[in-house]
Amino acid sequence: MRVLLLFFCSGAAALIYEVVWSNYLKLTMGSTVQAQTVVLAVFMGGLALGNRLFGKRADALTEPLKWYGGVEIAIGIYAFLFTGLHGLADAIFVRLGRPLLEHPTALLLLKTGLSVALLAPPTILMGGTLPLIAAWLQKTSPDARRFSARFYSVNSLGAVVGSCLAGFFLVSWIGLAATLQLTGIINLLVGGLAIVMARQSADMEPPSTALGAPSPDPADNEGTDESPARPGLAIALVALTGGVSMGLEILASRSLILIFGGSLQAFSIVLMSFILGIGIGASVIASPRVARWPREATTFTLLLLGAALMGLFILTIEQWVEAYRWIQSGLAATRVGYLYHLALNAAVSLIVLGLPAGILGAVLPLWIRENSGASSKLGETVGRLLTWNTLGAVFGVLLTGFVLMPNLGLRGSLALLALVLVIAAAVIGRARLPRPLALAAPLALAAGIFSVTQVGGESWKLIVSSGVFRFRENEVDPQRMQQRRDHVELLFYEDGTDATVSVERGEISAKIHSTVLRINGKPDASSHGDMSTQYLLGHLPMMARPQSKDVFVLGFGSGVTAGALLGHPVKHIDIAENCKPVLHAAPLFAEWNRGVHTNKLVRIWPEDARAILKLGDRDYDVIISEPSNPWTIGVGSVFSRDFYEIAANRLKPGGIMTQWFHVYEMHDGILDLVLNTFNSVFPNMEIWDTNNGDIIILGSKEPWASTPEVFAKAYDRPRVKHDLESIGLPTPRSAFARQLASQRTAFAIPEGGAIQSDEFPSLEYAAPQAFFLGERATLLHLFDERTWQSRLASPAKRRDLSLFTDADMKIVFGEYLSVNTEIARYAGLRKLRDGKDSPIDFFNGDQPVPIIFRNQDEKSRLDRRPPDASENFRLLLDAEVSLILTPSDWKSSVDRIESILRANPPDANRTRDWNPAHYAAVASRVCMSEGDWARAQSLLKMGFAFENARELRYLQRIVNSVASAQQGN
């Protein structure tokens, strides 16, 4: 029992290593599907080689348990060495990879070689653990063959725990390096205990008794004429089931992610379900209760059951989606609800993937159990079977990912794998079963699976591309999917190696249609609602740096952003896009992207952006990052400080980094994390507001001019002007209506707290929960230069935007609203007024909101004071309103605020219906705008005495920056 526990821990450690090492190698070599497949193939290939090498020698060892302990210790030591070796491999990759960037095959070979160098030593050692345990069992247990199967199952169950720990806790809590070291300690402990147990084995109770094994029963082999030694058939079966199992894991996980959403947690759950199924299947086979099951009849049944379940999933996908909607509907958007959501994902994964995985996973331990009874070389037999099972798995990964899925799609690939199982069942059934049964059952099942694939293909595509994970229904509309069939035209659908991409055309209104690009069911670009964001991502950095010639774009999407760049006099555009189906869909957006994918100025790299920036020899004026949402697995790495440092090193002097982000399905903590990380590399930055959900962050190592006069150069370019007019920005002055924070203030918004890094990829762990909760970040409302911080905007910006007419407001904010709800509300009131001489309500509840667009002579409704307000509160509200209506008379209003603050010092027993920190901030920023920095500092000090408020800290950073600049001069 103690050795079983050690082997359980060994399985958990192995999965943690796989997750962490894969993350490290993705950071070095990129996250393309080719690179990821190479890493997986090398990992599994190392296991296979270890199975074989140790299997051939394990039986000759006198103390295999001691050798097992030594192997575990060696793995643990390697874990402590890995980060240093990875750093060396990264340096080698950069040095040797630079001349190979133009040669993808050679570059892939370099990645393969480095992966082998890093992963082969530990994986070979890992592959040797079960053969060594089998050899030990052969020497110590009368039922070694069954216990070998049990150890295999326990190791698999340990892997489930390892996957859970790595996918949900360890990396987010302590980082990649510490996770490796902690896991290495586990290996050292396991190895040390194994050696101690080996030394004490002479004095211990026989392992067969300790493990609870029954005495050998001669009847176990009665009633069957099956010979235990059929190595050729055994090898073929375990290789086949290994390949089909991995193919099933890829296909089912991709299908389920289209339902659950492609978060790191969703992938972890699917992986856990797959391994748990294998572990349970192996446990059943290892049980004494099934010892009498005939080997080949059982295999025949297992193969047919696995094929039937795969066919059933193809047939019932719509029912699974509807069931998921019903069970998920009404789920409270709380953390408890999020846990329920994860549990629901796990339950569905266990049924859809875990059950067939368990059935197929039972074949290997079955043939370990039944094919080694007459052999005195159990370690060699187990090693040989594991080797071929693992090699079959490697082949299954390559075949499914690179051949079947791109050519047959998810449905067709699942059906083909099911038919392979049926054929295998028919072959093995002919040898031992009655001919009618051996032929009739496979033929009937094959006919059923073939029939299923001939119908429902379009329905499958519409359903899996619907993005059901974003429905968030309190009550399920039973007609929703039918309405999607009736009103959505699917223009394009492709199951690529790394993603499922679709393009659909749907109705927004009777006269407006939108073409939408979906990646794994999630809308990533469109011809309607996203145009403002897509255009401004391309135009804003070019307007800020109109002389730019060389541009790098991370992510192609619809191609609209890259196409917008063609309106400027650029000389070269590099685009990093490693998802082929996205490029195949590009012609469907030609009306908006100007055919950028075929333009001679454009080079599209089927490579990871990080690898291109590390290996390329071109420096850029502008780098634009428009990845998918950060709750999607793998995306968090392009929001890391490490990535921004790589990008900064490839920018020309004065070059601009451009980053897209969103406030929907996010919370303020995540937005803070992103801004902190960006600002830690780019000290000069601006934040722009493109619609009601998206922002664009511009950053540089050096300040740049950002004025209507600079922007006018871009407006002189006809195609640029056309694009900007189409999104409501007809003049350079109107463009600044979208500037939320200029370089004067944006740097002060981040608190300098948590940072997203490659070592601590916290974004991928926090973002999925925020996505599920459907939260919205409102942090930027407080720091918007168009509202609360309008006094800190440049005088020119305040003057220009205060001249906006109602017609101007309607043009700018007519179709594309603002992330700031106060701006959106005010713009709505201005649009409704439409030039009439009527007052505008600038209050938000009881709070007067300063609006930069407000004309100085504009009439306003003022009497919104709470009826039960204290005298001090009334006086403060009057002062605040006066600062909005008559800003030139600022001194008297500031005097009134300051006198009330002084007359009401901080007192724990005092009750107030007004916020002292807020009014200290109001008065301070007015003084800052008027150049009275000493008084501004004094007011901030008064405010801090009441509360260490976020806005006060923001204003203090601006004061400190000005003071530092004055000292420098």
pLDDT number for residue 37:
85
Whether residue 453 is predicted with pLDDT greater than 90 in this model: the reply is no
Whether residue 812 is predicted with pLDDT greater than 90 in this model: the reply is yes
Q: What is the pTM of this model?
A: 0.93
pLDDT number for residue 835:
82
Mean per-residue pLDDT, 718-735: 97
Confidence of residue 907 (pLDDT cuts 50, 70, 90): confident
Most confident of 445-449, 647-651, 771-775: 647-651
Whether residue 45 is predicted with pLDDT greater than 80 in this model: the reply is yes
Distance CA 128, CA 115 (A): 19
- SS3 at position 557: coil
Whether residue 229 is predicted with pLDDT greater than 60 in this model: the reply is no
pLDDT number for residue 310:
94
Confidence of residue 216 (pLDDT cuts 50, 70, 90): very low
Whether residue 592 is predicted with pLDDT greater than 90 in this model: the reply is yes
pLDDT digits (tens, 9 = 90+) for 615-640: 999 999 999 999 999 999 989 999 99
Distance CA 81, CA 214 (A): 44
The mean predicted confidence, pLDDT, of the chain is 90
Q: Any idea which of 315-329, 699-713, 750-764 has the lowest mean pLDDT? A: 315-329
Distance CA 907, CA 474 (A): 46
Whether residue 521 is predicted with pLDDT greater than 50 in this model: the reply is yes
Distance CA 698, CA 715 (A): 19
The residue behind tokens 């859970």 is 164
- With beta carbons less than 8 A apart as the criterion, state whether 90 and 28 touch: yes
How many CB atoms are closer than 10 A to CB 957?
17
* DSSP E strand boundaries for 527-613: 550-554, 572-576, 602-605
Confidence of residue 158 (pLDDT cuts 50, 70, 90): very high
SS (H, E, C) 320-381: HHHHHHHHHCCCCCCHHHHHHHHHHHHHHHHHHHHHHHHHHHCHHHHHHHHCCCCCCCHHHH
pLDDT number for residue 332:
66
Whether residue 49 is predicted with pLDDT greater than 90 in this model: the reply is yes
Most confident of 47-61, 315-329, 547-561: 547-561
pLDDT number for residue 908:
63
Whether residue 720 is predicted with pLDDT greater than 80 in this model: the reply is yes
pLDDT number for residue 456:
77
3-state helix, strand, coil in the chain (%, to 5): 65, 10, 25
Which backbone phi and psi does 656 adopt, to 5 degrees?
-120, 130
Whether residue 581 is predicted with pLDDT greater than 90 in this model: the reply is yes
Whether residue 840 is predicted with pLDDT greater than 90 in this model: the reply is no
> Which position has the higher pLDDT, 924 or 2?
924
pLDDT digits (tens, 9 = 90+) for 74-112: 999 999 999 999 999 999 999 999 999 999 999 999 999
Mean per-residue pLDDT, 645-667: 97
pLDDT digits (tens, 9 = 90+) for 848-880: 999 999 887 777 765 677 888 899 999 999 999
pLDDT number for residue 94:
95
Write out the H or E segment, with its range, that includes residue 502.
Answer: strand 500-507
Longest dimension (CA), the chain: 105
Q: Any idea which of 233-237, 326-330, 713-717, 883-887 has the lowest mean pLDDT? A: 326-330
Q: Any idea which of 127-136, 190-199, 544-553, 848-857 has the lowest mean pLDDT? A: 848-857
Confidence of residue 219 (pLDDT cuts 50, 70, 90): very low
pLDDT digits (tens, 9 = 90+) for 678-710: 999 999 999 999 999 999 999 999 999 999 999
pLDDT number for residue 839:
82
Q: Any idea which of 106-115, 128-137, 314-323, 432-441 has the lowest mean pLDDT? A: 432-441
How many CB atoms are closer than 10 A to CB 192?
15
Whether residue 814 is predicted with pLDDT greater than 60 in this model: the reply is yes
pLDDT digits (tens, 9 = 90+) for 395-411: 999 999 889 998 999 99
Whether residue 653 is predicted with pLDDT greater than 90 in this model: the reply is yes
For the chain, the residue count is 969
pLDDT number for residue 224:
41
pLDDT number for residue 558:
96
Whether residue 916 is predicted with pLDDT greater than 70 in this model: the reply is yes
Burial state string for 765-799 with b = 16 or more CB within 10 A and e = fewer than 16: bbbbbbbbbebbbebbbbbbbbbbbbbbbbeebbe
Whether residue 211 is predicted with pLDDT greater than 70 in this model: the reply is no
